[in-house]
Chain A
Amino acid sequence: MLSHNNDVEASIFENYLFDNGNSQFADVINIASVGIWQLKPDNKKSIWSLGFYKMLGYQPGEIQCSYNSFLENVLYYEDQDRFLRSLNNIWNSNAQAIDVRLLTKKGYQWFQCEFQKDDTTGSIVGTFVNIHNFKISQLQLTTHNQLINENSKLIKMGRWSIDVATNKLSLSKEALEILDVTTDINEIDIEQFISFFDLQSRQKLKDAIETCIKSCRPFDLDFKLITAGNNVIWSKIKAVATIDHYGKCMTIKGVIQDIDASKKNEDRLKSSLTNVNAENKRLQNFAYIVSHNLRSYVGNLEIMVNLHDEAANNEDKEEIFGHIKTVSSTLSTMIQHLNEIVKIDTEKSSEKTLIEFDLLFKNIVNALQANVQHAGAVVKADFSECRSVRYLPAYLESIFHNLLSNSLKYRHPERSPIIRIESKIENGHVYIVFEDNGLGIDMEKYQDKIFGMYQTFHKNEDAQGIGLYITRNQIEALGGSIKVESILNSGTRFIIRLT
């Protein structure tokens, strides 16, 4: 039998039980890691179980077992108010529960305290259970949830899930924010969800969800989303299937992310990559032209010099020398051409000005007036749809000049040339459509060569094969494009995107 230690006034609950003939409970209480206490409100006398001491990390007698000592030394001062209020409330209700911090040998820890009145003895009986780990986890969970919410907001991501059994889709608060839905709805139909996306995306998303349900295949797709506020934004929809014991898809768990900003950056990057590739191609083409042409001219000069050496008489020598002169002068013309092309790239950053199509084209027609009259050509210009463009005047003059003189040069021998030029505006781009009823080009054969350098397709003395090459370079240097449609013997149409 345990004895009282009156020096430290250690009161042990088990002794009290023994004293009162309840010895069978004593062992049980000893085993349970629960602290039991009893308080007599009239004289503030309290008794603690052995477990109570153990719980706090002490041996009976090590600390004073008293109501006042508990309040002052064990209970955390911030929890005192709540504890006392709860203690007083016991007279209004039967049972009370409260979480408080108690000072153990290891420091303050969280305990759950439950107590009730014992009417037979007029005392209050209660328990303390250590819930420190649970409380800490709970706290961490709250912090984590807060972090997740903050992160979701930061990366503009929300959650959604589909319950396959009910075919309902639930959305997190963040997901609703992305959809710009202000009403507080948790569940919508799958169809309703799909209708948030643009027409081209809907079938794809529908198929992806169906495949995910049927064969549990996850998906990760980027779609254009039309928000409730009618904004069009790029979104990423990612999902995985969770399965039941039979491997069937039970729910689809997904995220929806607003990736508008990064997608737009990506698009800008793509378009600049296309520009760089086009530029590269032009440079490569130019390098090929330089090497090809220089090689053939230099080769010809070499042959001529060889011939000159081998010529037996002066007559031959003189004749051959005449040809050497011709070759050297065409070589210098070619170098001038190459120089013009190099100039295109250096001039392209010059300042653009607002050009009236009508005025500029009239000037070109005037400059070529003699040729137009000689050919008996009819030139019809219609710039009513788009009257002006911001462009380099020198380039536009050169483009119009080249196209017009080509149409005159390669007119059909059996009919008078009719040349039409029109401006158009489409999706914010300015187009020029230029067409004639001339000789036309065999597209099947020359498709790839039309805009190449020194490519000629007709037996024409004046053909140099430089005009369209320069035209293309000027257009592409300013970020535009040129396309050609042609039918042999019926005519040619150039479609130019200027901006």
Chain B
Amino acid sequence: MEPNYINRVWIIDDDAVYRYAFRKFVEMKGLCPDVVDFGNGKDAMDFLQNPINARLIPDLIFLDIDMPVMDGWGFIEAFEHIKTRFEKAPGIFLVTSSIDYRDIVKAQNHPAIIDYVMKPLATHQFSSLFSEYQEKQSAYL
């Protein structure tokens, strides 16, 4: 398996329409064989907490900030506590409609976050985000 090949992506977003569109586009373009979606950070975290799922950790997460129950920042914080259980850390794109200056600065300074992307997102941007991740991975290797 190529190290920079994307096997599994997650999309964590409370917007069901957006989740569907993302999944459909990735499938149609064959960008990645396995897309998993969650409606909020808590559902995703519950999934990761279960040791059976440890090997199912994604390569890439498209994470929304504003979500009920557990928001994007809550998820990132919760993941910090359990990340040692996994052999790799997923790359995170913050995909959000928040134009709050504090969110942007916080995202730019966060080591776990690859980039901050503003909603609404056009379909072609999905593909470019995948390439951006792959480029970063190659550069890193």
Instruction: Name A residues whose Cβ lies closer than 8 Å to a Cβ of B.
Output: 292, 295-296, 298-300, 302-304, 306-307, 310-312, 316, 319-320, 323, 326-327, 330, 445, 455-459, 463
Within B21-74, which residues are at the interface with A (CB < 8 Å)?
Answer: 21, 24-25, 28-29, 39-40, 68-69, 71, 74
Q: Distance in Å from the Cβ of B110 to the closest Cβ of chain A?
A: 19
A-B contact count, CB below 8 Å?
Answer: 68
Give Cα A327 to B15, complex, Å.
11
A307 B15 Cβ-Cβ under 8 A: no
CB neighbours of A310 from chain B (8 A): 25, 28-29, 123
Within B65-97, which residues are at the interface with A (CB < 8 Å)?
Answer: 68-69, 71, 74, 97
CB neighbours of A303 from chain B (8 A): 18, 21, 25, 120-123
Give Cα A273 to B92, complex, Å.
45
Q: Distance in Å from the Cβ of A324 to the closest Cβ of chain B?
A: 9
Closest chain A residue to B43 by CB distance?
A459
List the 10 closest pairs (A to B, CB-CB), nearest first.
Answer: A299-B120, A306-B123, A303-B21, A456-B68, A300-B17, A457-B68, A327-B17, A296-B97, A303-B123, A307-B24
What 0/1 readout, one digit per residue, does chain B (1-22) give for beta carbons within 8 Å of chain A? 0000000000000010110110
Check if B106 is an interface residue, CB within 8 A of chain A: no
B97 A292 Cβ-Cβ under 8 A: yes
A296 B15 Cβ-Cβ under 8 A: yes
A312 B17 Cβ-Cβ under 8 A: no
B120 A300 Cβ-Cβ under 8 A: yes
Q: Could you say which of A296, A302, A320, A330 contacts B122, with CB atoms under 8 Å apart?
A: A302
Check if B136 is an interface residue, CB within 8 A of chain A: no
Give Cα A303 to B121, complex, Å.
7
Q: Knowing A303-B18, A323-B20 are in contact, say whether A458-B119 is a contact too (CB < 8 A).
A: no
CB neighbours of A299 from chain B (8 A): 18, 97, 119-121
CB neighbours of B123 from chain A (8 A): 303, 306-307, 310
Closest chain B residue to A305 by CB distance?
B123
Q: Knowing A295-B119, A459-B69 are in contact, say whether A300-B28 is a contact too (CB < 8 A).
A: no
Give Cα A306 to B22, complex, Å.
11
Known contacts A295-B119, A300-B15, A459-B69, then 13 further A-B pairs from the complex at CB < 8 Å, ordered by chain A residue: A295-B120, A296-B15, A299-B97, A299-B119, A303-B18, A303-B21, A303-B120, A310-B28, A310-B29, A311-B28, A323-B20, A327-B17, A330-B17
A326 B17 Cβ-Cβ under 8 A: yes
A323 B17 Cβ-Cβ under 8 A: yes
Closest chain A residue to B20 by CB distance?
A323
CB neighbours of B97 from chain A (8 A): 292, 295-296, 299
A458 B28 Cβ-Cβ under 8 A: no
Q: Knowing A296-B15, A455-B68, A459-B68 are in contact, say whether A302-B24 is a contact too (CB < 8 A).
A: no
A296 B120 Cβ-Cβ under 8 A: yes
Chain B interfacial residues counted at CB < 8 A: 22
B17 A316 Cβ-Cβ under 8 A: no
CB neighbours of A463 from chain B (8 A): 68
A298 B120 Cβ-Cβ under 8 A: yes
Closest chain A residue to B98 by CB distance?
A292
Most chain A C-beta atoms within 10 Å of own C-beta, residue among B17, B29, B39: B17
Name 9 interchain pairs, CB-CB below 8 A, sorted by A: A296-B119, A296-B120, A299-B97, A303-B121, A306-B122, A306-B123, A310-B25, A457-B68, A459-B39
Give Cα A430 to B131, complex, Å.
61
CB neighbours of A316 from chain B (8 A): 24, 28
Give Cα A296 to B17, complex, Å.
10
Give Cα A62 to B39, complex, Å.
119
CB neighbours of A326 from chain B (8 A): 17
CB neighbours of B40 from chain A (8 A): 459
B28 A307 Cβ-Cβ under 8 A: yes
Give Cα A311 to B21, complex, Å.
12
Q: Distance in Å from the Cβ of A402 to the closest Cβ of chain B?
A: 18
A300 B69 Cβ-Cβ under 8 A: no
B25 A458 Cβ-Cβ under 8 A: no
CB neighbours of B71 from chain A (8 A): 445
What 0/1 readout, one digit per residue, does chain B (113-139) give for beta carbons within 8 Å of chain A? 000000111111000000000000000
A300 B24 Cβ-Cβ under 8 A: no
CB neighbours of A307 from chain B (8 A): 21, 24-25, 28, 123
B17 A304 Cβ-Cβ under 8 A: yes
Q: Distance in Å from the Cβ of B88 to the closest Cβ of chain A?
A: 29
Closest chain B residue to A288 by CB distance?
B99
Q: Distance in Å from the Cβ of A487 to the closest Cβ of chain B?
A: 17
Closest chain A residue to B68 by CB distance?
A456
Give Cα A150 to B100, complex, Å.
60
Q: Knowing A307-B24, A316-B28 are in contact, say whether A302-B68 is a contact too (CB < 8 A).
A: no
Give Cα A316 to B28, complex, Å.
9
Give Cα A316 to B18, complex, Å.
16
Closest chain A residue to B22 by CB distance?
A303
CB neighbours of B21 from chain A (8 A): 300, 303-304, 307, 323
Give Cα A316 to B24, complex, Å.
9
CB neighbours of B124 from chain A (8 A): 306
CB neighbours of B29 from chain A (8 A): 310
Closest chain B residue to A309 by CB distance?
B123
